[in-house]
Structure formats: C-alpha cells, structure tokens
Structure 1
C-alpha cells in the first residue's frame, strides 16, 4: 500500500449535507460535543445513546436535513463496525483463547519474572512499540489488552502505570512510522523519500514515546489511580487443564499477525506493483482481518491443544470471548457515526478554508492544520489526508530532508487531544473501565503529549539538518 493517493483514502463527500457558514458549523460542533459530555457525565446516559443523540444535535444546530444526518451517522457507524468491529471480535476470541489455555498466564509470568517493578513500564512500551510497528492501532490494542490487564492485576500495578506506556507505544507508531497508512499517504502526497521519512520518524519517535509513555504514566497513575477492571480481566484458566502452552508457542501465536502485516508492508515497499502476484498474495494474507483470523485458527492448535481443549470446549471459548464486547462495539461504532456526521457536515473543509490564510512556516502550518482537523473530526486519518493535500504544494521548494519532516509534522498533529468524537477514545475508555473524565486526563493528555513533543522535535530537527 505505497501508491495511495489522497483521493483514494478520503472518505469525505463531495458536497456537505448542510450549507451552514463557518460560524454556525463551529457552534454546531461545540454544541454536539457538549450534549454528549453532558448526557454521559450529568445524566449518566449510556455512551451509545449519548453519541447517537449528540450526532442528531450536531446536525440540528448545523441546519442539516434530519434524514441526511441519520444517513451520515448510520454510514459512519456501519463502516466503523465493519472495519474495527471485526478486528475487535477476532482479538477478543484470541484473548479468550490466551486466557483459558493459560497462554496469557505464561506470558505474564515470564514478563513479571524478567522485569523489575521499576522497569515494567519500559518493558511495556518496548513490547507495544514492536507489536505496533506494522499493526493498526485497534489491532494492537486487542492483542495487548489481555497482557496489559493481567500484568497490572498480577503485579498489583496501577493500570495507568502499565496501560499508558503500552498505548503510547502503539499511538506513536501509528502517527509517525511508515508503513502505517497515515504516514504512507502523507509520504505519497508530498512526494517524500520513504526511507528517509522512516529513519527520521524513528529518531523522533524514541524520545516522544519515552516522554508520553513511561514518564507520563507516573503522573497519570497519580491523577487516575485505578486497577484493572474485573469485567474485562481474563479469567484464570481452570484447574483441569492438562498443561499450559509453552512461552515460545504462545509468543509466536501473538506475533503471527505482526509478522504477516509487516511482511505485507515490506513486500509493498520492495515490489511496489499492485499487479504482481507476490504483492497480491501478501495484500491478502497481510490484511488485518486475515492476519488476526489466521492467529485465531493457529491459536486453536498452539494454545488449545496443549491445554487439552476438546472441540466443544473451543466452541464455548469462542462464544464466551464474544459476549463481553457487544457494548464496546456499539459505543465504538457510535463514535464512528458521530465522526462521520462531523465530516459530512463540512467541518474538515471549514478548517481547510480558514487555514489557507495562515502565514506561518510550512512545518508549523502542517502541524496546526492537522491539529485543527483532528480536533474537529476526531479522525487522525482524515487529519493526515487533509493536511497533506493542503500543504503538498509547499513541498516543491523543500529539500528532501525537510519534505520528510513535513510528513512527520502532519503525523504528529493528527493525534492531538483525542476526545469524544474519536472512536479510539471510547475504545480505550471501555477496555480500561474508565469514566469520560478519567479518559480525558490520561488517554487524551497522552495523545496531546505525543503530538506536542513530536511536533516540537520535528521543528527542532528542521533547524539542525
């Protein structure tokens, strides 16, 4: 997926569903977000219902026809569940296999034995960064959640002390490092050198993930001192197990999707010919759905067989793995619906129109545009695509190094302050059992630190090289 164009990934409609001016749209955005926050915090309404009502309120304040608002919300909900929902479901099944077979215990026991309490956050950020290199953020979360929750519970750590470094590792990879789709589409849009962008991205990512992960987790744990939620915590395997799967087999099963997706990315870069048979094969086996599905199927043998699982026991495990995620799927889907309503209302285009008159340095302009679109639409991908398309002409007069830095500035801006219009916000909230306020204090602040530190390092590098 190297030859991606802005037009191919942009999901925005040609015509917005409302003709409201910039001022009215701005008020509508604030009103929609306020309704969601008020319903959840003041009236204790379920997040799915609050997001649905908030989307309708946004459309009403923007003056959009109600039928078009409903269509936008339904489209966003459907596309989010179709994309992320299947990955969450497969991840939940794999997580249940890991837990019931004793494989997760094997991983957790090994980590706890090898890492001291002081080094545990550093171990988690390293694991998340390695796993997150080729994976979409959502895939990384569903793979890491069982390990994060069990390490926090078994080691009696604050969930934030363990969870924030893991989230930081995944998010930094997602924002700054190709072959993630955001950085790749920005590389293509501004005609940057992929290898140089990757090298500079790693240079920026290392200090960024240290600050936003292990260091910030100390503060986050003081602000929000919570333990792993019991409802999401994998149950200990039953005592009737014949054996636990080995550490090597368990680790290989977890890393299988990572290897498949990384292989796809490398083949795409090396061959770069969509019609080539090898690339077409890897495009299939390295897709998130197939990669996770393969891990689930392999896990039935590498995890279930050593534990002595019968066919009936495997079927029961899959069924129980899916049961707890129904609410999460609806909430994440509704978050996607709210995001799509924002986009279809023309909020992203409003930001682009306003930013055309900003007279500031190109790298800072790229970061600010990405920040503004991220805040308004909740989508890091939309922010990256839109910002890259707008600043692409500026790259014509840049050196090869500064063009690569332009990509990183866009990526850093695209993750700024995730809040209620981001499906990822609800994913983190539900998995970690947090309130809206707690999620804002931890996840949202962590994302902002990644954006500001990453953007600052990019500007600093531009003065040096």
Structure 2
C-alpha cells in the first residue's frame, strides 16, 4: 500500500535524524531507498530515481541558491543590507517594520518562485531584525508566509498561471479573486500566528556564513538606491519576463526577456552588477569580493545537499506512481468540486512534497468535473493552489530551506513552517468557499 510505504519512509527519516542524529542528507537518501523498495521498485530502479531526483532538484536550484547567497553576502559584507534595514526602520518605525517586510515579500512573491524569494529576502530579514532589535522569526515567519502564499495563489506566478490554463480560467479574474483570499491568509499565518510564540522561541542563531553582524558607519555604507537595486534587480528582471509573457507573448524580445527573467540568470547578472555597485565603486578589491563569494558558497553547501536529498525523496514517490494511486482513489468522489480539488492537491502535497506538482496534478484530475458542473474555473484554480501549499514536511525542499536558513531544529520547523503552511491552506479553502456563495 502506497500510504503505508510513505508513512514508513517519513517515520524512518524522523527516527534516523532525531533518534540516531544522522545527517539529514544521509537520512533522506536511506529513506528514499526504503520507500522505493517497499513499493516494489528494483534496487537499480530506486537508485536511478534517487540520482535523477538529486540532479533535477539541485540542478534547478543550484544557480539560484549559489548566486542568491552570494548577492545576500555582498549586501551584508558591504553594508547594503544594513542600509536597507535602517531606511525601512526609520521610514516605518519599529512598530510597523513587520508589516513593511510582509508587503515587500508579497511584491517579491508575485513574480518569484518561493525558493528564489527566500534566498533574496533572507539577508534583509536578518538585517531588519538586527536593526529593529526584534527576534529573527518575528520578521522571518511573516515573510515566508507571504512568499509561499503568493507561490500558490496568485498569477502571474508560474504555478497558479499553469493551473489556471488547465482550468481555462481567466488570469485577470484569478488575480482579482486571489489577492483578497491570499492577504487574510498571510496575515493570519504570519503576523497573527507569530504572536502565539514567546520571544525566546522566535530567537534563532543566524548561520555565520550567511550574515555578518558588523555595524557599519554612515560613510562605509553604500547609498540606499544602490543597495535596493542590488536586492531587487532579480525581481525586476523576472517581472519584465512575466509582463512580456502576458502582454506581448509573440514579441521578438521574448528570447531576451526569457533569458534575463530566468531566476538563475537574473541572480547571476545581479551578482555581476553588485560586484561593481557594492564593490569596485566603493574601493573594494577583487580578492575581498571573491572571499565573500567563497564564504557564501561554503555556507550553503550543506543546504544544497539537503535540498537535493529532498528532491531524491520526492522523485522516488513520483517514479513509484504513488501520485497515480492517490488520484485514482479520489476520482469517484461526489463531494463539492472545490473541496475535492483542494483535498486532492493537499493529499498530493503531503505525499509528494512539490506544491507545483500537487496543484497541476489535482487540476488535471478535476478539470473535466469542473467543466461539467460549471463551477468557476477561477475558484477551482485557487482551490488547487490553496491545497498545494499546505502541510509542508520532510519531503518538500521548502521545508529544508527554511530549516537550514533559519537554523531550526526539526521540531521547531514543524511548529513554525509546517503549521503556517497548513493555516494558509485552510484559510485559502475558506476564502474560496466564501466567494463561491456569490460567484
């Protein structure tokens, strides 16, 4: 039984890590192997699946994480992140700095995949928390809540846009309905949920290789314009790509915008630009800048390995056809198409880990039902998105990114990240069902 295999695999992973204190990467590989063998895959097939999962996960995120970490380290090592943090705190005040960070994450999350947004914003989260003298997670949890919600709910983000196409939903209507559903979900899962924790719980130790606590003088810091340019240039490139795709899909500049708007390319270009804006123009030498790059890469090496291990676990689940088994179980249900879509996406998310795979698979299964019943395709798109972002755990790369970047224990990651994604999923479903009364 696939459910039993997945359950055993997850339990084995937790035992290896929490009881035997095994490294997360090793634990993920052993658990992946166990699940594949339990599902009847041959040992050779399981290892092939693991290798494919390692390559696809690390390959798709390697440029993003490496150059995102490098840009973040440059921002912190040159005082750029401190300049942005000081400006935000002075502009909005310490009382409202959490709200300002959430708004920033919402804007970033519209265009960027979750992982990219985390890599870009984490250095700013650290700096804002330091300058505002608040716990790291007081800023960090609302920021990641905003990023994952936009990842699942709102076009023109690639995930919701792809699901909208399957349902033949209008992108503009989906955006107009998605925002009023997404914003309350972000508020409840972010700022409100954060309030239930004591201050000590929200304090974490920042990974040393990702941030420097040096206090820069006014003269040492770059200007706010150059600092914010280095932080937001990847977002600008991705926004340009998204706008061209939607407004001028057959334009001759598509090849250029698709190139610069690729997350890896955008961060690579941003890193090169930042070498000049934050480095050479400020009198810094190439050795100093390359030392910063080397430090950032060494700091995220284990993060890359763990993310790759999570990709291997997910790939074994897909290659053993657990997704098809789950889909078959759900097809005969007579419940509301909106709830059914949310439920299929949620179960696939728990089983497979990938929010994008969960949302698109759920949409593919339920699309014929939606067409036959006449339910709003826009609400169906949002129901799939809500289910697909919830209940993140050990088979999701996002789980490990949050755990490692915020230096959390497994238990603390479940209490924060898993819990807030679950809140977002239920809030999203509630919003969809509320709108269905009027649409």
Equivalence map 1:312-331=2 (5 Å):
312-331=287-306
Q: Paired residue for 2:286, among 308, 311, 318?
A: 311
In structure 2, the residue matched to 1:69 is 46
User: What's the Cα RMSD here?
Assistant: 1.8
Shift of 1:241: 10
Matched, 1:120 2:97: yes
Map of 2:315 onto structure 1: 340
Residue aligning to 1:15: none
**Alignment partner of 1:188 out of 165, 169, 178:** 165
The residue that corresponds to 1:243 in the other structure is: 220
**1:290 aligned to which of 265, 287, 301:** 265
> Which of the residues 140, 146, 153 maps onto 2:117?
140
Gapped regions of structure 2 (runs ≥ 5): none
What's the offset of the Cα at 1:141? Answer: 0.5
The answer on whether the counterparts of 2:230 and 2:274 sit within 8 Å (CA) in structure 1 is yes
Answer with 127-136 or 402-411: which moved more: 127-136
In the TM superposition, residue 109 of structure 1 has moved relative to its aligned partner by: 1.4
Residue in 1 that maps onto 2:430 = 456
2:362 corresponds in structure 1 to: 387
Higher fraction of helix: 2
1:434–1:272: structure 2 CA closer, same or farther, 3 Å change rule?
same
- 1:87-132: per-residue Cα shift (whole Å, max 9, x none)? 1000111011101111011111122223333322212211111112
Counterpart residue number, 1:441: 415
The yes-or-no answer on 1:110 pairing with 2:87 is yes
Task: Indicate if the aligned counterparts of 2:207 and 2:405 stay in contact, CA closer than 8 A.
Answer: no
Aligned to 2:400: 426
Q: CA deviation at 1:188?
A: 0.9
2:346 aligns to what?
371
What secondary structure sits across from 2:196 in the alignment? helix
Of 3, 18, 28, which residue of structure 2 is paired with 1:41? 18
Give me the whole-angstrom Cα distance separating, in 2, the residues matched to 1:33 and 1:41: 12
Does the 8 Å CA contact 2:106/2:146 hold for their aligned counterparts? Answer: yes
- Closer, same or farther: CA 47–27 of 1 in aligned 2, 3 Å: same
Residue pair 2:63, 2:268 contacting (<8 A) in 1 also: no
Instruction: Indicate which of 193, 197, 201 corresponds to 1:224.
Output: 201
Relative to structure 2, which stretch is displaced further, 223-232 or 74-83? 223-232
Residue 203 of structure 1 deviates from its aligned partner by: 1.6
* Count of paired positions: 439
Q: Give the SS at the match of 1:309.
A: coil
Residue pair 1:160, 1:221 contacting (<8 A) in 2 also: no
Alpha-carbon distance between aligned partners in 2 of 1:344 and 1:59, rounded to the nearest angstrom: 8
Deviation at 1:158, TM superposition (A): 2.2
Q: In structure 1, what is the equivalent of residue 382 of structure 2?
A: 408
Give the whole-Å Cα distance in 2 for the aligned partners of 1:181 and 1:239. Answer: 39
2:152 is matched with 175
Supply the distance in 2 between the matched residues of 1:40 and 1:318 (Cα, whole angstroms): 30
How far apart, CA to CA, are the structure 1 residues paired with 2:66 and 2:220?
Answer: 26
Q: CA deviation at 1:280?
A: 1.9
* TM-score, with structure 2 as normaliser: 0.96
Displacement of 1:223: 8.8
Alpha-carbon contact 2:207-2:406 (below 8 Å) kept: no
CA deviation map 1:221-279 (0-9, x unaligned): 56933334252551145879973210111111211111111111111111223xx4222
**Structure 1: distance between partners of 2:83 and 2:184:** 31
Q: Structure 1 residues 372, 154: closer, same or farther in 2, change over 3 A? A: same
Q: Partner of 1:133: helix, strand, or coil?
A: helix
SS at match of 1:464: coil
Deviates more, 1:300-309 or 1:121-130: 300-309
Unaligned runs of 5+ in 1: 1-23
